[in-house]
Amino acid sequence: MSGPGRAITRIEAAVGRAVEGITWVLTGVLVLLVSVNVFARYALGIGWFWAEEVTRLVFVWVVFLGSYVALRRKQHVAMDFVAARVPRRALPAFLTVTRLFVLAFLGVVAWSGIELVRTTLELGRVTPILGISAAWGYLGVPVSAILMFLEVLRETLVGEVPST
């Protein structure tokens, strides 16, 4: 494995472990938030007016971080009908070209996502119920894109060939 490949593999592994930790905690929080809110409404007779908004915020983060975790674990579906017919020796080059395009896409999403967060903060747009900045939700998009960029970059540098 080349020098940059090894370095990024180490970095990505550390980042990945940290994100996985955050992701399972948030998923647990999501379950508790919704179920405890039902309990509060019926058993205690109090509905938390903020529950739905917080639930959606947590869900959005579970989605965007979960997308990255799923990418690390090779769970996103791709079609093999052409790749399976590419000669073995040409496969790494074939995959690298595709990955460069994916990196371009993730780069655009990360950059435009950061722009969106910035303008949202500048305009001071807040959520209707909690009154916190709407940027807290939007932030999930660029964070996820940057994390996925890191993983695809690692695959590219290492020249990983998926097992089919």
Binding residues vs another protein (CB under 8 A) = 20-21, 23-28, 30-35, 37-38, 42, 52, 55-56, 59-60, 62-71, 73, 75-83, 94-95, 97-98, 101-102, 104-106, 108-109, 111-113, 115-116, 119, 137-138, 140-142
Nearer to another protein, 10 or 17 (CB): 17
Nearer to another protein, 3 or 89 (CB): 89
CA angle 125, 67, 105 (to 5 degrees): 75
Question: At its nearest, how many Å lie between another protein and the CB of residue 67?
Answer: 4
Nearer to another protein, 7 or 24 (CB): 24
Question: At its nearest, how many Å lie between another protein and the CB of residue 27?
Answer: 4
Distance CA 140, CA 56 (A): 12
Question: At its nearest, how many Å lie between another protein and the CB of residue 100?
Answer: 11
* Widest Cα–Cα separation across the chain: 66
DSSP state of 113: H
Let me know: does 23 contact 69? Beta carbons within 8 Å: yes
Nearer to another protein, 7 or 32 (CB): 32
Distance CA 91, CA 84 (A): 9
Question: At its nearest, how many Å lie between another protein and the CB of residue 3?
Answer: 27
Nearer to another protein, 5 or 40 (CB): 40
Task: Report CA 40 to chain centroid distance, whole Å.
Answer: 31
Distance CA 69, CA 73 (A): 6
Helix axis angle, 91-123 to 140-158, nearest 10° = 160
Question: At its nearest, how many Å lie between another protein and the CB of residue 31?
Answer: 5
In the structure encoding, which two tokens stand for residue 54, read together?
A: 């917080």
